[in-house]
Structure 1
Amino acid sequence: MPELDRNDHGKGSFSQYRGVLVPVNGRVRIRLAGSNPFQEQLRDLIDSGDTELATAIGRRTQQQEGADTEIEVRLFTGSRVSGPVGFVPRGLESAVDEALSRLDVTGLKQRIPVEIIRKGGLLRVELLMGQTR
């Protein structure tokens, strides 16, 4: 992962999960890290009017997990997949992997809903983890 600005490290906490990384409520979110370089792409996504944004990522393989590679996030807009928009913050990869697994086990598409927000004058991507319960 590239060196990140101090305001671009992402945000999330394991205290918002219980048991096998199940979000405690529907409001739990993870803010992606490394979104600063993708501001133009995020603006284009907002301008496109697509409101049903979701992740277009898969679970990490054993090899990726062993190498502790970051999870690059792309978004599915309903008709296409975007370029990268950020990375899952370090340490929270297991929460995202478990959410994808939970969706798969229940027969749902492995897509975590997403919201693009404005924070500090910049666009940020938040994974709506609570909606994967």
Structure 2
Amino acid sequence: MPFWNNPPSADDSLPKNDRGSGSLSNYVGVLMPRNAKVTMRLAGSDPSQDELAALAAEEAELTTATPARTTAEEGVDAPIEVRIFSGRRVSGVVGTVPRGLESAYDEAVRRLDGRGSKPRIPVAAVKTKHGYRVDLLMGLTR
């Protein structure tokens, strides 16, 4: 595989099944999702399995409850921790945005906020053979 096709560097400290996924090639222009099917899977969801199971069982629409990073936070280059809003409550941290995709997350939140919408990205709690995972439905922020 050519070096320019390599995905963003994954966090090797996490298990292979919990490193998250997504690609900047799914975005065009100013990080606008190519289509409504673009998703981003959060990394580091293993410690939150009980909370994710409870959120998946709820009938409410799930959205993120994490704002875009400030300029000071961008300078530190810390991972973006994501919490979920289920209509009644905000969960604890359920994962982090995969390394290299922070700018796509920030731009989606800013785009929603600039439109006058609530700056919350729709979320799906997905059951996989390795446990629950969190998919951000980035394509719905177009």
Q: How much does 1:86 deviate?
A: 0.3
How many residues are paired up? Answer: 132
* Greater CA drift, 108-117 or 49-58: 49-58
Q: How much does 1:121 deviate?
A: 3.5
Instruction: For 2:118 and 2:110, locate their aligned partners in 1 and report how far apart those are by CA, in whole Å.
Output: 10
Aligned partner letter, 1:4:
L
The answer (yes or no) to whether the contact 2:56–2:126 under 8 Å persists in 1 is: no
Residue 59 of structure 2: SS of its match in structure 1? coil
Percent identical among aligned pairs is 55
Aligned partner letter, 1:20:
V
- TM-score normalised by the chain length of structure 2: 0.89
Instruction: For 2:82 and 2:45, locate their aligned partners in 1 and report how far apart those are by CA, in whole Å.
Output: 10
Gaps of 5+ in 1: none
Aligned partner letter, 1:12:
G
- TM-score normalised by the chain length of structure 1: 0.95
Instruction: Give the direction of change, closer, same or farther, for the CA distance of 1:51–1:105 in structure 2 (3 Å limit).
Output: same
1:6 to 2:13 alignment: no
Instruction: For 2:119 and 2:36, locate their aligned partners in 1 and report how far apart those are by CA, in whole Å.
Output: 17
Q: Which residue of 1 aligns with 2:40?
A: 30
TM-align CA RMSD: 1.4
Q: Which residue of 2 aligns with 1:118?
A: 127
Gaps of 5+ in 2: 1-10
User: Could you list the runs of 4 or more consecutive aligned residues of structure 1 that deviate by over 4 angstroms after TM superposition?
Assistant: none
Q: Which residue of 2 aligns with 1:51?
A: 60
Instruction: For 1:61 and 1:121, locate their aligned partners in 2 and report how far apart those are by CA, in whole Å.
Output: 33
